[in-house]
C-alpha cells in the first residue's frame, strides 16, 4: 500500500486521539487537512495563524511523537495557513509557515513567523528590508502608565487598563472601551496599555491606530482591490487599539469590515481596546451589531478630573519639564481650566513659553490672560447637540420643535441653520448630522447647507441670523 499524506496523517490522528481529550481532538485536530507528503515532510493545512500557534504551544510534543513514528527521526511538519476567503471573488491564498524546531524539524528556522507566498499581501505598516512581516506598533512611548496620574475621575479606566495590560485577551474586559470627553486622556491611556503590553510581552503584535486612519486604509484597499489583504493584515494583530471609534459613525463599509476583524480577533482570544468620545448607548450611526460587541467587555469612563487631580497633573508636568512655578499660579490654572487636561497642559506650556520669551516673570496677571484665551477656545469645540440648543434658543423654540417634521418655514430654516453650523463647526459626516438633527438623511443636510449659502447671499435678514449665530459658536 502506498504511503500518502492522508494515510500518514490518519495514522498520526489515531495515535493523537488516544492521547488527548475527545473535545480537544475535535477542536484542534479534526479541522486539520493533510495536503502533501514529500520524503519525510508532511504538509498540513490549518484554519488560521492562531490555530497554528495553539498547536505549537500545546501539542507540539504529541505531534512530534506521532509523526516520528510514521516518518522516522527526520520527520518534518509544515503548516499551511488557509486564510478564509469570505470577501470578494479573489482567489484564496495560502501562507506557509515552517514548523518550529521544537516540533519535528531538525534544523528549521522559525524566526520567520509569517512568510507570505502571495506577493500581494500588503501590510500597511510594512518596513522595507525586513524579511518577515514586522508590524510596527505605532505606539508613543511618552504616553505610559507612569505619567498617567491616577485620580477619582480615571480610577476605573486606569485599573481596567492595567488589568488588560497584565493579561491581554485574558480578562473579561474584551473589548475594553475607554470613553470620555475631549482632552481627558483617552489616547494617552490607550497608548499606555499598548506600551505596557509591549514591555511585558515583547513577542506580541500590538497595533495602535486611529479610527480615521483605519478608515482611510480601508477605503484605499477597496480602491486598489486589496480588501482581503487589509482584513488579513488586521487579523494578524494580537492587541488591536483603535482610537476614536466615533469616527466610524455613518461609515457603514468600514463598520462592516471592522465587525469582521473584531469577531475574528475576539474569537481567537486577542485583545481589542477602543476609545470613543461617547458611551456606546450614546453613539450615533454605529450599527447595532457593532454596538452590541462594544458592550461585551467593559466600558470605562474618563471623567473630568477633580481639582486635586488637576493640581497633581500640573505639578507632575512641571516637574518632568524641570520648571518651577509658584503655587498660587498652579492653583489659579487648576481652578480655572476644569474640563480638559490637554488645555490644562497647554495653558502651562504657554505660560512657560510667554515668560521665557518676553523674559517676564510668571505672574497671576499673565496666568489670567493665558487662561482666558484657553477657556475661550474651549467653547469652540461645539457638539451637534450644543448647536441645536443654541439655534433653538435663538429662534425661541424647543429642540424638539426644531427637529420635528413640520414644514413651517421658520422652523425649517432654523433646522437648516443647525445643519449648516453642524457642518461648519463639527467633523461629523452629513449622514451623522442628519440623523442627529431630526433623523434626516445626508441629502437633506446637503440641501440645507446649499439653501443656507444661497439665502446668505440673497436675504439680508437671513445673513443677520448667520452672523449672530456664528458669534455664539466662536
Binding ligand ADP (rule: CB under 6 A), the pick from 187, 246, 255, 392 is 187
Our finding on whether 182 is near ligand ADP (CB under 6 A) is yes
Beta bridge partners of 177: 274, 299
Binding ligand ADP (rule: CB under 6 A), the pick from 64, 188, 293, 415 is 188
Our finding on whether 184 is near ligand ADP (CB under 6 A) is yes
Residues 315-334 that bind ligand ADP (CB under 6 A): none
Our finding on whether 220 is near ligand ADP (CB under 6 A) is no
**Strands 76-82 and 94-98: what pairing?**
antiparallel
Q: How far is the CB of 342 from ligand ADP (least distance, A)?
A: 4
Closest CA to 402 of 346, 342, 469, 321: 469
Binding ligand ADP (rule: CB under 6 A), the pick from 342, 373, 389, 442 is 342
The answer to the question of whether 170 is labelled as a binding residue is no
The answer to the question of whether 186 is labelled as a binding residue is yes
Choosing among ligand ADP, Mg ion, none, which partner's interface includes residue 406 (Cβ < 5 to 8 Å by kind)?
none
- Mind giving me the DSSP string for 366-416? HHHHHHHHHHHHHHHS--HHHHHHHHHHHTT--HHHHHS----HHHHHHHH
Binding piece for ligand ADP, criterion CB under 6 A, among 84-92, 108-116, 177-185, 266-274 = 177-185
CA distance 244 to 187: 8
The answer to the question of whether 183 is labelled as a binding residue is yes
DSSP 83: P
CA distance 150 to 296: 25
**In the β-sheet with 271-276, what is the strand arrangement from edge to edge?**
206-210, 239-243, 271-276, 176-180, 298-302
Residues binding ligand ADP: number (CB under 6 A): 16
Site pattern 276..315 for ligand ADP (x: CB under 6 A): -------------------------------------x--
CA distance 80 to 52: 9
Our finding on whether 148 is near ligand ADP (CB under 6 A) is yes
Our finding on whether 185 is near ligand ADP (CB under 6 A) is yes
- The residue behind cell 466662536 is 474
- Residue 79 to residues 16, 109, 302, Cα–Cα distance (Å): 17, 13, 45
Complex with ligand ADP: residue 302 or 449, whichever CB lies closer: 302
Binding ligand ADP (rule: CB under 6 A), the pick from 55, 257, 300, 341 is 341
Choosing among ligand ADP, Mg ion, none, which partner's interface includes residue 182 (Cβ < 5 to 8 Å by kind)?
ligand ADP
Q: How far is the CB of 427 from ligand ADP (least distance, A)?
A: 13
Question: What kind and span of H or E run contains 274?
Answer: strand 271-276
Our finding on whether 144 is near Mg ion (CB under 5 A) is no
**Burial status of residue 345 (CB atoms within 10 A of its CB: 0-12, 13-18, 19 or more):** middle
Cell of 255: 463598520
Choosing among Mg ion, ligand ADP, none, which partner's interface includes residue 154 (Cβ < 5 to 8 Å by kind)?
ligand ADP
Closest CA to 184 of 456, 381, 4: 381
Distance between the two ends of the chain, CA-based, in angstroms?
Answer: 85
Binding ligand ADP (rule: CB under 6 A), the pick from 48, 154, 221, 444 is 154
- Residue 60 to residues 3, 37, 76, 160, Cα–Cα distance (Å): 23, 19, 12, 34
Binding Mg ion (rule: CB under 5 A), the pick from 100, 153, 174, 187 is 187
Choosing among Mg ion, ligand ADP, none, which partner's interface includes residue 35 (Cβ < 5 to 8 Å by kind)?
none
Choosing among ligand ADP, Mg ion, none, which partner's interface includes residue 149 (Cβ < 5 to 8 Å by kind)?
ligand ADP
Our finding on whether 210 is near Mg ion (CB under 5 A) is no
Complex with Mg ion: residue 349 or 352, whichever CB lies closer: 349
Cell of 303: 471623567
Our finding on whether 71 is near ligand ADP (CB under 6 A) is no
Site pattern 167..186 for Mg ion (x: CB under 5 A): -------------------x
Complex with ligand ADP: residue 158 or 232, whichever CB lies closer: 158
C-beta of residue 341 within 8 angstroms of C-beta of residue 189: no
Q: Which residues of 192-223 are buried (b: 16+ CB within 10 A; e: fewer)?
A: bbbbbbbeebeebbbbbbbbebbbebbeebee
C-beta of residue 270 within 8 angstroms of C-beta of residue 238: yes
Binding ligand ADP (rule: CB under 6 A), the pick from 122, 186, 227, 423 is 186
Residues that bind Mg ion (CB under 5 A): 186-187
Residues that bind ligand ADP (CB under 6 A): 147-149, 154, 180, 182-188, 313, 341-342, 345
The binding site comprises 183, 185-187
The binding site for ATP comprises 183, 185-187
Amino acid at each position: 500500500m502506498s504511503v500518502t499524506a492522508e494515510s500518514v496523517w490518519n495514522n498520526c490522528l489515531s495515535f493523537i486521539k488516544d492521547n488527548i481529550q475527545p473535545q480537544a481532538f475535535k477542536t484542534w485536530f479534526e479541522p486539520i487537512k493533510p495536503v502533501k507528503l514529500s520524503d519525510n515532510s508532511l504538509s498540513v493545512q490549518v484554519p488560521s495563524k492562531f490555530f497554528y500557534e495553539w498547536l505549537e504551544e500545546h501539542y507540539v510534543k504529541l505531534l512530534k511523537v506521532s509523526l516520528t513514528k510514521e516518518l522516522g527521526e527526520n520527520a518534518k511538519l509544515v503548516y499551511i495557513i488557509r486564510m478564509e476567503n469570505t470577501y470578494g471573488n479573489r482567489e484564496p491564498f495560502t501562507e506557509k509557515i515552517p514548523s518550529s524546531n521544537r516540533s519535528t524539524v531538525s534544523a528549521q528556522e522559525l524566526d520567520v513567523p509569517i512568510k507570505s507566498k502571495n506577493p500581494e499581501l500588503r501590510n500597511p505598516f510594512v518596513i522595507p528590508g525586513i524579511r518577515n512581516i514586522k508590524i510596527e506598533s505605532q505606539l508613543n512611548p511618552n504616553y505610559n502608565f507612569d505619567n498617567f496620574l491616577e485620580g477619582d475621575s480615571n480610577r476605573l479606566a486606569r485599573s481596567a487598563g492595567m488589568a488588560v495590560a497584565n493579561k491581554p485577551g485574558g480578562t473579561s474586559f474584551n473589548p475594553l472601551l475607554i470613553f470620555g470627553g475631549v482632552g481627558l486622556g483617552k489616547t494617552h491611556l490607550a497608548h499606555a496599555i499598548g506600551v505596557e503590553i509591549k514591555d511585558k510581552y515583547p513577542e506580541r503584535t500590538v497595533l495602535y491606530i486611529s479610527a480615521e486612519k483605519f478608515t482611510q486604509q480601508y477605503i484605499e484597499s477597496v480602491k486598489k482591490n486589496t480588501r482581503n489583504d487589509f482584513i488579513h493584515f488586521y487579523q494578524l494583530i494580537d492587541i488591536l487599539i483603535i482610537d476614536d471609534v466615533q469616527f466610524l459613525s455613518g461609515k457603514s463599509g468600514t463598520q462592516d469590515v471592522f465587525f469582521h476583524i473584531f469577531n475574528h480577533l475576539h474569537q481567537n482570544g486577542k485583545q481589542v481596546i477602543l476609545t470613543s468620545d461617547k458611551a456606546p448607548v450614546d453613539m450615533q450611526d454605529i450599527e447595532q451589531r457593532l454596538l452590541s460587541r462594544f458592550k461585551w467587555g467593559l466600558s470605562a469612563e474618563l471623567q473630568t478630573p477633580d481639582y486635586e487631580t488637576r493640581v497633581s497633573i500640573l505639578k507632575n508636568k512641571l516637574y518632568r519639564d524641570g520648571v518651577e512655578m509658584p503655587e498660587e499660579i498652579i492653583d489659579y490654572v487648576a481652578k480655572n481650566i476644569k474640563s480638559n487636561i490637554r488645555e490644562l497642559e497647554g495653558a502651562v506650556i504657554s505660560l512657560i513659553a510667554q515668560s521665557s520669551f518676553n523674559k517676564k516673570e510668571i505672574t497671576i496677571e499673565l496666568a489670567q490672560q493665558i487662561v482666558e484665551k484657553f477657556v475661550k477656545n474651549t467653547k469652540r469645540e461645539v457638539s451637534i447637540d450644543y448647536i441645536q440648543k443654541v439655534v433653538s434658543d435663538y429662534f425661541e423654540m424647543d429642540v424638539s420643535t426644531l427637529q420635528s417634521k413640520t414644514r413651517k418655514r421658520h422652523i425649517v430654516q432654523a433646522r437648516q441653520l443647525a445643519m449648516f453650523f453642524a457642518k461648519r463647526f463639527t467633523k461629523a459626516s452629513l449622514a451623522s448630522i442628519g440623523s442627529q438633527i431630526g433623523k434626516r438623511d445626508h441629502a437633506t443636510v446637503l440641501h440645507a447647507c446649499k439653501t443656507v449659502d444661497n439665502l446668505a447671499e440673497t436675504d439680508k435678514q437671513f445673513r443677520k441670523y448667520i452672523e449672530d449665530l456664528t458669534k455664539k459658536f466662536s
